[in-house]
Amino acid sequence: KDDVTVGVVSRTTGHTTQNETSKDKVYFFDTTLRDGEQSPGVSLQTPEKIEIAQSLARMGVDVIEAGFPAASPGDFEAVAAIANTVKGCTVAGLARANKADIEKTAEALAGAEHSRLHVFIATSDIHLEYKLKKTREEVIETVKDCLAFAAGKFDEIEFSAEDASRTDMDYLSEVFSVAIEGGATILNVPDTVGYMTPMEFAGKIRYLKEHVRGIEKAIISVHCHDDLGMANANTLAAIEAGARQVECTVNGLGERAGNVGIEEVVMALKTRRDIYGVDVDIDTKQFTRVSHLVSRLTGMVVPPNKAIVGANAFAHESGIHQHGVLSNPTTYEIMTPESVGAEKSAIVLGKHSGKHAFVDHLVRLGFTVDDSKIPDLFTKFKSLADRKKQIFDEDIIALVMDMIDHE
Ligand code: KIV
Ligand code: ZN
């Protein structure tokens, strides 16, 4: 395994500082309230944001990105309210690399127990040419100026190179070196457009570790979007290569196809600790509850087949699987539903279900059916399941009552 970039954490508060190193901890930076709120159709009010932020803090995230204070008066108010009320974790505010944004962010974060400026500027040639209309040198000057301006206004500074994954690597290394010289202690590598593949992204993280001046003083962070469905794979590959902060959202909300879901990264790291060997201080038992909260407040429905928090994540329909799970859940479950705060495994009756699960269900419904009656009852259940998509308890009860009536 590669040597990992060290994470730094203070003994008393758990906030990231320069004092103490913890090389195997992965820090979680939740951006549900910023990038997550950029999901088309999502708009949260301040009290709802506070409720989500409090849940995130209880769940143990290290940093909450509360919003983008310069974006609107509503965002400013929400960031300030979270900074004033949510304690026990770092509160971050996003800012473009200009003085006005940084000043607004400092104002919004004034009440935070521990504040972080998250300042960003694009670094890829595509963004420089078509969006910023700046040269590479001008971007470097902007980074220097804004970091000098931000110095002393926050407890810590995170610098993001937007579209880093499509940026020339030598130039990116130079921008990050300048950011460290300017006082940034967290360097974020966003895959802004979800363009990366896992091995490629891991290679970039290794390259930065070798080429950025002063990198040993900083934490490398990753921020993966899911445009090609690879956000989690890319995040995990980056962790293997030494990244120690993950930017993520609840349920994978975020711009376009979304950001990586916190529940997916954390459960992958925990379930495959044999591969990753890193520490994660997140209370995973809260995942289902927080997922439901965010879904209800944002109106973004969680697909039933979503990993970890989808309604079917611990449901088994086929007879072979049901038989296995009823004998021993580890046959078809790599984590327990309890570990993510979900209800116990659901044995869903449908046309693929076997006799074992069917009989088990009859018993759970309180019936003791004579063994000789089971084959006939099971045949009737199968033909019903062929006609009906979902079988409810009422359907099974009706089948048994019908059998009793005809005895
Ligand atoms: O996707 C992105 O590049 C971002 C940055 C602001 C970090 O959200
Ligand atoms: Zn993003």
Determine whether the shortest distance from the Cβ of 160 to ligand 1 is under 6 A: yes
Determine whether the shortest distance from the Cβ of 30 to ligand 1 is under 6 A: no
Determine whether the shortest distance from the Cβ of 223 to ligand 1 is under 6 A: yes
Per-residue pLDDT for 400 more than 90?
A: yes
Q: Which of 160, 189, 234 to mutate to test the pocket of ligand 1 (most atoms within 8 A of CB)?
A: 160
Question: Could you give the CA distance from residue 262 to residue 4 in angstroms, rounded to a whole number?
Answer: 21
pLDDT at 405: 85
Query: According to the annotation, is 283 in a ligand binding site?
Result: no
Per-residue pLDDT for 131 more than 90?
A: yes
Determine whether the shortest distance from the Cβ of 158 to ligand 1 is under 6 A: no
Distance from first CA to last CA of the chain, Å, rounded?
69
The interface pTM score, or ipTM, of the predicted complex is 0.99
Place of tokens 């091995």: 199
Question: Mean pLDDT score of the chain, rounded to an integer?
Answer: 93
The residue whose C-alpha atom lies closest to atom 5 belonging to ligand 1 is 162
Query: According to the annotation, is 170 in a ligand binding site?
Result: no
Query: According to the annotation, is 223 in a ligand binding site?
Result: yes
pLDDT at 313: 95
pLDDT at 266: 98
Are 96 and 120 in contact by the 8 Å Cβ rule? The answer is: yes
What is the DSSP-derived secondary structure letter of residue 129? I
pLDDT at 359: 92
pLDDT, tens digit, for every residue of 216-242?
999 999 999 999 999 999 999 999 999
Supply the pTM of this predicted model: 0.89
Determine whether the shortest distance from the Cβ of 176 to ligand 1 is under 6 A: no
pLDDT at 22: 59
Q: Which ligand is nearest to the CA of 123?
A: 1
Find the 68 Cα to ligand 1 centroid distance in Å. 12
Look at strands 27-30 and 21-22 and give their pairing.
unpaired
Mean pLDDT of 375-384: 94
If pLDDT is split at 50, 70 and 90, which confidence band does 369 have? confident
Amino acid making up residue 41: G
Alpha-carbon distances, residue 187 vs 156, 312, 371, 395 (angstroms): 11, 37, 66, 57
